[in-house]
Amino acid sequence: MQSTFYMDSKHHEDLIHIRSMMERSSRFISLSGLSGVCAGLSALIGGLYILQWFKTNKINYFDLEDRVYGRDVITHLIGVGMIILIVALISAIFFTVRKSQKYKLPIWTTATKQMLIQLAIPLLVGAIFCLALIKYNLMVLVAPTTLLFYGLALVNAEKYTYSDIKYLGVLEIIVGLVSLFYLRYGLVFWIIGFGILHIVYGLVVFKKYK
Amino acid sequence: MSIIDKLNKDFESRVRLGIMSVLMVNEWIDFTEMKALLEITDGNLASHSTALEKSNYIEIKKEFVGKKPKTSYRATALGRKAFTDHLNVLEKLFKSK
């Protein structure tokens, strides 16, 4: 007859194994906190650059709520936004690949695909919504809208990755909602939401799962 | 009958526990992904999945994607129930301590 001690530790290991398999197979856990820090830095630098650019081009961003911009200004803003997005995406991919190689985790799994789909739905809707806002010259609403839809996307993707991400999502939503009532400071809220929050969140997560 | 005897013998192997755990939280999982998740060999996965299929705990689907054969697994309702029962017994073992 096997000793109780042996059986105990076997069953205990069984439970640990079950939990880890459920976790590994249903959640995308290769996302590194460092990619959050990188995304935050690129948003911070990009946002501050835009503030400076407004100054040198004598656009008084904080004076008006019913801003109407020329085509070239809009093109420049969208261009800078795209660069920030691309830098953030490249860093996310880079750190994900690095982390998954380090821990020998598969990347392209069912959980990864699920997470990307859950992220993509609110983001795509938000992007098209912003295009419509720009078309009708409602520029002042673009910053809050990006924060809100991004926050919703994170909350939505929570089931398929580290659940901490929902706290970041909720904070983005709160910043977005507050900025709706202080429209003229949209860019400042945008820098807080996409810059500062990402950096803080990234550092916290990086330390926690190191 | 002691509580330990209530543990399902079909789930004694670590590999079978792993397969069932993965299928409890996912719908269809294909062979390659399952193999990578459990870090086991082809033969190992094939024999244990066949055993689970024989007990009617999982469903095995074979299809062709282009010219490549693809095998996928899904837990049956019976399998889910058996595995949940097994988990409950395991949990009880620790609670009664």
* pLDDT tens digits in sequence order for chain B, 97 residues long: 566 677 787 888 889 999 999 999 988 999 988 998 888 999 999 999 999 999 999 999 999 988 899 999 999 999 999 999 999 888 888 776 5
Query: H or E stretch including B52?
Result: helix B42-54
CA A204 to chain centre: 14
Report yes or no: A159 at the B interface, CB cutoff 8 Å.
no
Look at A110 and B33 and tell me if their CB atoms are within 8 Å. Answer: yes
**Model pLDDT, residue B4:** 66
Report yes or no: A107 at the B interface, CB cutoff 8 Å.
no
Q: Where are the domains of chain B?
A: 10-95
Report yes or no: B1 at the A interface, CB cutoff 8 Å.
no
Within 8 A of B37 by CB-CB distance, chain A residues are 21, 24-25, 106, 109
Q: Where residue A1 falls among pLDDT bands split at 50, 70, 90?
A: very low
Report yes or no: B38 at the A interface, CB cutoff 8 Å.
yes
Q: Are A203 and A196 in contact (CB under 8 A)?
A: no
β-pair partners for B70: B63
* Cβ neighbours of residue A166 closer than 8 Å, sequence gap 6 or more: A154, A155, A158
CATH number of the domain at B10-95, out of 3.30.470.30, 1.10.287.610, 1.10.10.10, 3.30.70.920?
Answer: 1.10.10.10
Q: How far apart are CA A157 and CA A122, in angstroms?
A: 10
Which of these, A31, A32, A142, A41, lies nearest to A87 by C-alpha position? A41
Nearest to B37 among A8, A18, A106 (CB): A106
3-state DSSP call for residue A38? helix
Q: How far apart are CA B10 and CA A179, in angstroms?
A: 57
Q: Are A88 and A39 in contact (CB under 8 A)?
A: yes
Q: Where residue A175 falls among pLDDT bands split at 50, 70, 90?
A: very high
**Model pLDDT, residue A7:** 65
- DSSP structure string for A136-202: TT-GGGHHHHHHHHHHHHHHHHGGGB-TTHHHHHHHHHHHHHHHHHSGGGHHHHHIIIIIIHHHHHH
The structural domain count of chain A equals: 1
- DSSP structure string for B63-75: EEETTEEEEEEEE
How many other CB atoms sit within 10 Å of the CB of residue B58?
25
* Cβ neighbours of residue A121 closer than 8 Å, sequence gap 6 or more: A153, A156
| pTM check: above 0.90 | no
Q: Where residue A209 falls among pLDDT bands split at 50, 70, 90?
A: confident
- Give mean pLDDT, residues A114-129: 96
Burial class (CB in 10 A: 0-12, 13-18, 19+), A88: buried
Query: Is residue A4 in a domain?
Result: no
CA B47 to chain centre: 12
Phi and psi at A65, nearest 5°, equal -95, -30
Q: Where residue A146 falls among pLDDT bands split at 50, 70, 90?
A: very high
Q: Are A197 and A168 in contact (CB under 8 A)?
A: yes
Taking CA A119 as the corner, what is the angle to CA A114 and CA A123, rounded to the nearest 5 degrees? Answer: 150
How far are the Cα atoms of A7, B2, B15 from residue B23, in angstroms, in the given order? 25, 29, 12
Look at A25 and B21 and tell me if their CB atoms are within 8 Å. Answer: yes
Query: Is residue A117 in a domain?
Result: yes
Query: Is residue A121 in a domain?
Result: yes
How many interchain CB pairs under 8 A, A with B? 52
Query: Is residue A186 in a domain?
Result: yes
Nearest to A14 among B17, B29, B38 (CB): B17
Query: Is residue A146 in a domain?
Result: yes
Report yes or no: A16 at the B interface, CB cutoff 8 Å.
no
Q: How far is A7 from chain B (nearest CA, A)?
A: 9
- The residue range of the domain holding A81 is 33-208
How many other CB atoms sit within 10 Å of the CB of residue A155?
19
